[in-house]
Structure 1
Amino acid sequence: MREIHRVSCENPVNKMWNMFVYFESEPHVKQLFDQYYQDKYKADTARLSFQNTRKFIYYIKQGREYFHTASRSADLVKPLLLYYGMVSLLKAFILTADAHYPTHTKVLQHGMTCRKLKKLDYTFSDDEVKIQRDGLFPLVAAHLGSEQLVGEKFKMKNLLAMLPELRAAYEKTYEHVDLEPIHISKHVDYTYPYTTFYLPEHILDKCHLSYSSFIHFLNRYNHGQARFTTHDLEAPQGIIRLNWHHPEQIQVLENPTGFDNDLFIQDYKGNHYFYTKPDAAASFIPEILVHYMLMYTLGMICRYETELWGEMIFSLSSTEMFIIQEFLAINERKFPNMILNLLFQERFIFETK
């Protein structure tokens, strides 16, 4: 991500989708492909850009129509519409990285699998998805630097825990949380070129680490040149104070990739959270793939286990429909935003006036 843009508007969702109109212009898309293809394909750049422009535009248009239709649909069919909208947008993203997509029929598969025949005592939180070697998911994962996910299994409850917008719903549903909100000082002092931020002290107990050991733990999962250090001043009781350093950014809130660290994540409003599981980095998954796995599983239930899906969303005894509905709403808002960020290579935060 090159830059961060905070866009003030009356309707963030409408403004977000209006930004996609940029990618429905052939000159703009050819310019985009020229930018992405010139190093990799050199002399073939012009031909490949021309060849893929309309395909890309129709992926974007189709994805938008799926999402718009989903926004007006009932929960009985919403997961399927959102899933295929996600697939269309992901194909557009893949085309910017692979000019020859699809190279063979195997890449047209989902790239994931889950148990089609559900148990009688089925609960969504205990369901699992397994990543396959071929298909769209491993292709996207590879382009996001997560090739190691092939062959792994992921439980829905653990995936839901990784989404910051679901933190409140997750706590109400499962009575615990794994994401801790971070308080970041907005004060900039050029004498001390770093960002100070605060976390509750009980995080040290969760991670079974001392304050100094916790700093070393964080630095193991940095990307690039960012690093953490201890703060000279003692923090108030129950709080720990830390510093974030970056050679090109003083304020982490102005950095398009945030903390540049696997253990930190942002919601679509730009708020930061820390993932408190000690093994978080070992199982780190890009957020866009977390959304993809969750929606794939819901789509499979919706499509192949229609009676079960009906019972889940209409039964008064269901304990999970609250968090599932929250996820559907968050996905509808955030997933296109994440794709927009990838296509522009810039982070957009849409805020109401």
Structure 2
Amino acid sequence: MYQVVHTIMCENPTKKMWDSYLYFESEPTTKAFLQQTYEKLNIPKANVYAFQNASKFIYYIKQARQYYVSAVNSDLLVQPLLLYYGMVSLLKAYILTRDPDYPSNTRVLQHGVTSRKIKKNYYSLAEDEVKVQKEGLLPYLHSFLSKENLKEKYRIQSLLAVIPELQPAYQKLYKQTSLIPVSLSSHRNYEKLCTIFYLPESVLDKVHLTYNGFIHYLNRYNEGQGVFLPSSLEVPKGIIRLEWHHPNQIHVTESGDGFANKLFLHDYKGNFFYKIKMETDYNISEIVNHYMIMYVLGMLCRYETERWGEIVFSFMSEDMYMIQEFLTLSARKFPNLVYDLLLEERHIFQTD
């Protein structure tokens, strides 16, 4: 999906990321971008659609920016709602690049998900669920991101489990490990086009496989041209050494799709993680993941105001720790994910 990786060194990654969106707030550049995008998709009358949609696209981006700015400067009592609608504006801009007639009907303007009505006195975010509807923004967005079907319901803890940056908080709060950091060798082998990396030996116990069986298991989930191979060199006890070979990529950090394997994820700094469980709950686009979690928090904020206030302001809820971590992360990462989608390139904004 992503052609290349761009690492942008800067003093303020969040500011630099949003400054990069200014490219889409100019009518001439937006028209050219939309026309090029539509032509790549073989959409007839690409120039006409680009002219018609330029202003709409620009206002989606500008509105999203204002939602995010307002959210960062707002009280936690209303922050999830502002972030959610910022997400929606960004996603509408992306969908417009895939469907020049969007919105063609009112059904695609619905949320596309519902959350269950809270009846119990006790509330746990981890145990809450989100239900996917047949029509609306979420399923329509998903149709452009993946060929796999969405499940009917998702448990929030399962969604939190596969967000790399939340793993330290996830382990502290839920006493479980769902992602394992991958240790990459920075060595570039220009002859073999090979990336060497390390994992703790305990991963073999978790999947009940031998070293060679584990490599075969990894290769089952490849989605690109890369393949995993064993390493003949000895390593210290407690870790395993593996190789990732690609016909065109010198190193995995230079690959737009990373390992291009369902078992591996990466954070917004470019670090990689191995996914311990391979289940349907753990195998959706991170953009869809963020959307569903933020929807639940937004609905709590909007319709369960008293309970939301208790979560935010009392010392009785363990959810507050994870909620604060997620809101802070999503405010930074989600616009980055959409920016990558729009340009079909990964962008890592890092401090000097």
TM-score w.r.t. length of structure 2: 0.97
Question: How many residue pairs were aligned?
Answer: 351
The answer as to whether partners of 1:138 and 1:147 remain within 8 angstroms in 2 is: no
The answer as to whether partners of 1:229 and 1:242 remain within 8 angstroms in 2 is: yes
SS in 2 for 1:198: strand
Structure 2 Cα separation of the partners of residues 176 and 43 of structure 1: 51
Which residue does 1:135 correspond to in 2? 136
Which residue does 2:98 correspond to in 1? 97
Which residue does 2:285 correspond to in 1? 286
Which residue does 2:21 correspond to in 1? 20
Instruction: Read off the aligned partner of 2:203 and give its amino acid letter.
Output: I
- Pairwise mapping of residues 228-243 of structure 1 onto structure 2 (< 5 A)? 228-243=228-243
1:117 positional shift:
3.1
- Pairwise mapping of residues 184-195 of structure 1 onto structure 2 (< 5 A)? 184-195=184-195
Structure 1 Cα separation of the partners of residues 212 and 148 of structure 2: 32
- Pairwise mapping of residues 248-327 of structure 1 onto structure 2 (< 5 A)? 248-277=248-277, 279-280=278-279, 283-327=282-326
Deviations 1:156-199 (Å, cap 9, x if unpaired)? 11111111110111111111210100000000122332101000
SS in 1 for 2:243: strand
The alpha-carbon distance between structure 1 residues 243 and 80, as it changes in their structure 2 partners (threshold 3 A), is same
Name whichever of 7-16 and 227-236 sits farther off: 227-236
Instruction: Read off the aligned partner of 2:54 and give its amino acid letter.
Output: T
SS in 1 for 2:149: helix
The answer as to whether partners of 1:116 and 1:304 remain within 8 angstroms in 2 is: no
Structure 1 Cα separation of the partners of residues 53 and 143 of structure 2: 21
What is the root-mean-square deviation of aligned Cα atoms in Å?
A: 1.3
Structure 2 Cα separation of the partners of residues 152 and 225 of structure 1: 32
The alpha-carbon distance between structure 1 residues 17 and 153, as it changes in their structure 2 partners (threshold 3 A), is same
Answering whether residue 177 of structure 2 is matched by residue 163 of structure 1, we say: no
SS in 1 for 2:45: helix
Which residue does 1:126 correspond to in 2? 127
Instruction: Read off the aligned partner of 1:329 and give its amino acid letter.
Output: T
Instruction: Read off the aligned partner of 1:16 and give its amino acid letter.
Output: M
Structure 2 Cα separation of the partners of residues 43 and 254 of structure 1: 34
Which residue does 2:75 correspond to in 1? 74
The answer as to whether partners of 2:158 and 2:282 remain within 8 angstroms in 1 is: no
1:28 positional shift:
1.1
SS in 2 for 1:188: coil
SS in 2 for 1:191: coil
1:232 positional shift:
1.1
Structure 2 Cα separation of the partners of residues 116 and 68 of structure 1: 30
1:146 positional shift:
4.4
Which residue does 1:340 correspond to in 2? 339
1:224 positional shift:
1.9
Instruction: Read off the aligned partner of 2:5 and give its amino acid letter.
Output: I
Structure 1 Cα separation of the partners of residues 152 and 342 of structure 2: 27
Name whichever of 306-315 and 32-41 sits farther off: 32-41
The answer as to whether partners of 1:108 and 1:135 remain within 8 angstroms in 2 is: yes
SS in 1 for 2:269: coil
Identity %: 53
1:40 positional shift:
4.1
SS in 2 for 1:65: helix
1:257 positional shift:
1.2
1:39 positional shift:
4.6
Structure 1 Cα separation of the partners of residues 63 and 274 of structure 2: 35
Structure 2 Cα separation of the partners of residues 41 and 238 of structure 1: 52
The answer as to whether partners of 1:263 and 1:280 remain within 8 angstroms in 2 is: no
Deviations 1:86-118 (Å, cap 9, x if unpaired)? 000000000000011111111000000111234
Structure 2 Cα separation of the partners of residues 43 and 212 of structure 1: 50
Which residue does 2:54 correspond to in 1? 53
Which residue does 1:174 correspond to in 2? 174
The answer as to whether partners of 2:161 and 2:282 remain within 8 angstroms in 1 is: no
Which residue does 1:5 correspond to in 2? 6
Unaligned runs of 5+ in 2: none
The answer as to whether partners of 2:109 and 2:136 remain within 8 angstroms in 1 is: yes
SS in 2 for 1:148: coil
Deviations 1:103-147 (Å, cap 9, x if unpaired)? 111100000011123421221110001111100000111100145
Instruction: Read off the aligned partner of 2:313 and give its amino acid letter.
Output: F
Structure 1 Cα separation of the partners of residues 185 and 280 of structure 2: 25
Structure 1 Cα separation of the partners of residues 188 and 40 of structure 2: 38
Name whichever of 322-331 and 225-234 sits farther off: 225-234
Deviations 1:32-52 (Å, cap 9, x if unpaired)? 111221254554111111111
1:209 positional shift:
1.4
TM-score w.r.t. length of structure 1: 0.97
Structure 1 Cα separation of the partners of residues 95 and 44 of structure 2: 21
Instruction: Read off the aligned partner of 1:45 and give its amino acid letter.
Output: A
The answer as to whether partners of 2:193 and 2:248 remain within 8 angstroms in 1 is: no
The alpha-carbon distance between structure 1 residues 261 and 242, as it changes in their structure 2 partners (threshold 3 A), is same
